[in-house]
Structure 1
Amino acid sequence: MKRLNSMKLIRLATVATLGSSLVAGSVSTFAAENRTGTTDNEVTFIEGDDGGGGTVEPPVEPPIEPIDPIDPIDPGADGPLNLMYVPKKMDFGSVGISATDAVYNMIAEEITGSGGTVSAPYVSFAQVKDTRGTHEGWDLKVELSNFTTGSGASAKTLAGAQVKLSDPVIDHAGTSAPTASTVTIEPGSKVSVMSAADGQGAGTSSVIWGDQTQLTDDAADPDIDVVENEAIQLLVPASATPEAAKYTATMTWELSSTAGVGGETLPQ
């Protein structure tokens, strides 16, 4: 009888030990754990301070490499909204007087290779840099003076002459590009050539006139003496009756912010 009691004790002890193991395992399963964490990140943007400094970025790949740096209009300008570049000269060449309405293509501008040893026809363009960080709109306009033979009392005016800028292409690195369309510029009137609504035009934007591939092909054609940019034209009506003389005019470009109080346009 004592032996049987001993076995019962052993069995009871075994059961008790197993039971305690089960309880301990249950407590371990529901222990609190942490496997994630967070790190705060922060950056504050302010108005850009590079302004008009530095060089102008060619909006179309140049047909020659390397090229001389393209200087901005005002390298010292340090504001956040700047007109960086406009065409240096629109030369319509020497043309015959016509008794009817006439259209003259502009001689293509050229880009200069490094060191100034070579040059090649290049598109014409205007460039705006906006680093204000406000995403407010802006507008680039141009005004044309009369074509005249001089400034004295005997100066003659090419009455009715206009300049047409056709099929503009916008180059913009961002997702919200400004807009442009074909325009005809009459003397004395301001015409918008590129504009950005609120939310558009942040960063660098260029409006381009001309087809670089066509200009490069024309330059390589031995039958073409003068490469013309057909996207920029001088329109002269028959009524202008020009004299055999040189006529010159000036284009004045103006960049304005459209972020004024009450929606008015404020010059920058």
Structure 2
Amino acid sequence: MKKVVGSLLMTSTMLLGALAPIVANAADGENRSGTTDTTATFTANTTNPVDPVDPTDPTKPLNPGDGDNGANAGAGLSLIYAPSKLGFGSNQIDVINNQSYAADASSTVMMGTTNKVGLQVSDQRGTNAGWTLSVAAADGTDGNLSSLKGATLSLPAGTVTSTGATAGSGSTAGNGATGQAVDLDLGSQASTSAGATFTGATSGVVLTAADKNGAGITSDLLDPTAIKLNVVANTASATTYKGVLNWTLTSSADN
């Protein structure tokens, strides 16, 4: 019996030895490793204008059509889309109550097929230095909007998205850009006859990206029903008020 057990142990040891991997050892003087330097260079796009893109599918260009875009394609840091028209329809004068009128779809330019008022900023500088898009109201040529005493324009914080792997949601895009609500003074002076007035600022920031944010194309979609012209009671005359919104894009590096 002892001989049988001894034979089995010897046989098992031989089999295990046969199955064990053979580890190769480098001979003296041999080298088995190396390194490769790898580089990739990118340059800022400062010469080729960037056209607006479809905010629902940034891989597709947006054709705003003649007169629909209140901005121009551009390279580097550029405002490449703004609505060319914003209207509030025709409304009866109210001499008793303050009123807020939403943007009228028939006289307001919507961005593509979104049914939203759109803004779009392109940052292809490659610095991620941050930027700010602000807006101010003025009369413009043959305008008289400033004579609508106490009136303000309210712009909501829009839904902000960006190109890249993460589009983002709500008022913050995947690239870190954020939308902000703004109340702009339109009338040159407040009316006190109605006992109540709206208050706003002469200009405000609607879209901004802090340092290290805002690269690529950022889209800001504003709900037209939340864009309001606020009019103080008994201040409007039976006329058409005209004005312009001036959009200004600035780099944080310039400040």
TM-score by length of 2: 0.67
Of residues 84, 89, 96, the one that matches 1:88 is 84
Q: Equivalent residue for 2:239?
A: 245
1:70–1:35 CA distance, 2 compared to 1 (3 A): farther
Of residues 39, 43, 60, the one that matches 1:42 is 39
Question: Cα offset for 1:61?
Answer: 5.8
Q: Equivalent residue for 1:163?
A: 153
Q: Which structure is higher in helix share? A: 1
Flag the structure with larger Rg.
1
CA contact (8 A) 2:134 2:248 kept: yes
Q: 1:141-165, CA deviations, whole angstroms, 9 ceiling, x for partnerless residues?
A: 10012599x559xx98211111111
* Equivalent position SS for 1:259: helix
CA contact (8 A) 1:84 1:129 kept: yes
Unaligned runs of 5+ in 1: 1-27, 114-119, 211-228
Residue pairs, 1:1-268, within 5 angstroms:
29=25, 31-32=27-28, 33-49=30-46, 51=48, 53-60=49-56, 69-70=63-64, 73-75=71-73, 77-78=74-75, 80-99=76-95, 100-108=97-105, 109=108, 122-146=115-139, 150=142, 157-174=147-164, 175-187=174-186, 189-210=202-223, 229-240=224-235, 242-260=236-254, 264=255
Question: Cα offset for 1:112?
Answer: 9.1
Number of residue-to-residue matches in the alignment: 200
1:41–1:102 CA distance, 2 compared to 1 (3 A): same
Question: Cα offset for 1:37?
Answer: 3.6
Question: Cα offset for 1:121?
Answer: 6.7
CA contact (8 A) 1:179 1:196 kept: yes
Counterpart of 1:43, as a letter, is A
1:47–1:236 CA distance, 2 compared to 1 (3 A): same
1:68–1:125 CA distance, 2 compared to 1 (3 A): closer
CA contact (8 A) 2:143 2:242 kept: no
Counterpart of 1:181, as a letter, is Q
Q: 1:220-243, CA deviations, whole angstroms, 9 ceiling, x for partnerless residues?
A: xxxxxxxxx212111111152x12
CA contact (8 A) 1:103 1:233 kept: yes
* Sequence identity (%): 31
Query: How far apart, in 2, do the equivalents of 1:243 and 1:249 lie?
Result: 15
Counterpart of 2:42, as a letter, is F
Stretches (4+) displaced over 6 A = none
Question: Cα offset for 1:96?
Answer: 1.3
Question: Cα offset for 1:166?
Answer: 1.4
Question: Cα offset for 1:110?
Answer: 5.2
Counterpart of 2:163, as a letter, is A
CA contact (8 A) 2:110 2:117 kept: no
TM-score by length of 1: 0.64
Query: How far apart, in 2, do the equivalents of 1:198 and 1:94 lie?
Result: 43
Query: How far apart, in 2, do the equivalents of 1:250 and 1:181 lie?
Result: 20
Counterpart of 1:192, as a letter, is V
1:138–1:122 CA distance, 2 compared to 1 (3 A): same
RMSD: 3.2
* Equivalent position SS for 1:200: coil
